[in-house]
Amino acid sequence: MVTDLFKLEIFIPRSHFETLREALSSSGAGHLGNYDSCLSWSAVSGCWRPLKGSSPYNGIEGVLCEAEEYKVEVCCSAEKLRDTVSAIRSVHPYEEPVINIIALTALKERIDRNQYYEVRVEADFAAAHYLENYHGKCENLHGHNYRVLAHARGDALSEGGMLLDFGVLKKALREVCESLDHRNLNDLAVFAGNPSAERIAAHIFRELKQRLPEAPLSAVDVYETPGSRARYGVSEKG
C-alpha cells in the first residue's frame, strides 16, 4: 500500500525554532483531523565536522563541533510533503539540514483495518453426497440444494468506483457451481471421499481465485439448508 502520511524529524538550532514552527504550520504540516500546528520538540545534542569547501552556520572547518539543538517531529500528508520540505529548507540556517522523512505505512494500515468495502454475489447448485466415517444418517447418499455466497473485501476502489464488478464475480461463481451441479460429489477426487460443506466452500474459494487471481476474495459461504452454513475464507493478520 502506498502511504499518504509521513513523519518528519528536523534538527535545528533553538534560536530558529519559532521560525521553523511557523513555516511548518504555513505549509500544512502537522494537520491531523480537526487540529493543526501539531508537533513536538525535544532538546538534543548534535555534533558535526565541517569539511573543506563547506560554509558552516556554526563551527570551524576540520574541527569536530558540538551544540545543543531541538529535534522537531511533525506529521505531513503526501500531497504536502514537497512544499513542507521546501519550507523547512527556506528557514533552516544549516548548509545541510538534517530532515528525516519516515513513511507511516504500518500505522496507516492499522488505522484502516476496520474500514473496508465489501461486495457479495450468490449462486446455487443441486448435488448429492454422503459422508464417510460420520456415523449418522449423512453416511447415506442424500442431496442438497446448495446456496453459495462469495464475498470480496478491500479498502480501495477502481477508477469506476467499484471494488469488484458484480458481473465478473457472479459469472465466475456460476461457472464453478455449474461444475458441481447434479453431481455425486463423492465422485470428485478433490473432496477426498468426504464432500462436507466445509470442503465444498474451500474448493469453490480456490476455484474462484484461479479464475480471478487479482480479485480481493475474502470468503465463500455454503448453505446446505437455510439454517446450516459453512465458511472458508482468509484471515485478517495484524
Provide the 3-class DSSP secondary structure of residue 24. Answer: helix
Find the catalytic residue in 65, 139, 182, 198.
182
Q: Distance between CA 13 and CA 94 in Å, rounded?
A: 9
Find the catalytic residue in 138, 139, 177, 236.
138
Backbone angles phi, psi at 161, to 5 degrees: 80, 20
Three cell numbers at 189? 477426487
Backbone angles phi, psi at 235, to 5 degrees: -90, 145
Known catalytic residue at 138: yes
For residues 113 and 20, the answer to whether their CB atoms sit within 8 Å is no
Nearest CA to 73 among 93, 46, 43?
43
Known catalytic residue at 224: yes
For residue 115, how many other CB atoms are within 10 A of its CB?
7
Catalytic residues: 138, 182, 224
